[in-house]
Homo-oligomer: A and B are copies of this chain.
């Protein structure tokens, strides 16, 4: 039986346990990105990893736990990278531009992760059948963007637009930029991000 020792809510795992989990997560990312969430069965993921299907069930409580771990590992890396890039900036305009360019540059080097993340966000459902990562999962991003907008509106950089609408709009613009890039790999992602920064600078400034 896999060890389930807990401390501070964190599972304590052996190195080979951790390695297996990482390997399975990586295989899941690649399979999902290639054939889509709906077709990415545990059997396919195991086959891609060169292991038996039961290994996944042994290391993960179920498919949902595996998917959640894919999201957490991938998403955590994005937040870390982009957050670091925004450190030290003060003006709202600078922050928004750094966010847009930073996330685009990071994802440019992580295409399969991006595609898999999108698939999981769209398809994964909870036990109740409702989406696990629906629109409401964006609330954290909306709040962060609204904070930047409030900063800009107070400093006079921005006009007094509806911050919620602007946040929903900008977040969707980023999401769709990536979706467009996934569909059209030859599309210039960085140029798109720069153009977006210009567009939203005009949309926001007083």
- Measuring CB to CB, which residues of chain A are less than 8 angstroms from any residue of chain B? 35-36, 38-39, 122-123, 125, 129-131, 134-136, 159, 161-162, 165-166, 168-169, 171-173, 175-177, 179-180, 182-184, 191-192, 195-196, 198-200, 202-203
Contacts and interface: CB of A to CB of B under 8 A. Distances in A.
Contacts of A165: 192, 195-196, 199
Contact of A135 (B136, B173, B180): B180
Q: Which of A162, A179, A191 has the most CB of B within 10 A?
A: A162
B195 A180 contact: no
A169 B162 CA distance: 18
Contacts of A131: 36
A161 B39 contact: no
Contact of A129 (B35, B176, B182, B184): B35
Given A38-B125, A195-B162, A199-B161, A135 B169 contact: no
Contacts of A177: 168-169
A81 to B, nearest CB: 23
A184 B164 CA distance: 13
A183 B131 CA distance: 11
Given A169-B199, A199-B166, A179 B135 contact: yes
Contacts of A125: 36, 38
A135 B38 contact: no
14 contacts: A36-B125, A122-B122, A122-B123, A135-B180, A135-B184, A162-B195, A165-B192, A168-B176, A168-B180, A168-B192, A169-B177, A172-B176, A200-B203, A202-B202
Contacts of A179: 135
Counting chain B CB atoms within 10 Å of each CB, the highest count among A123, A131, A196, A199 belongs to: A199
Contacts of A196: 165, 169
A172 B165 CA distance: 13
A134 B181 CA distance: 12
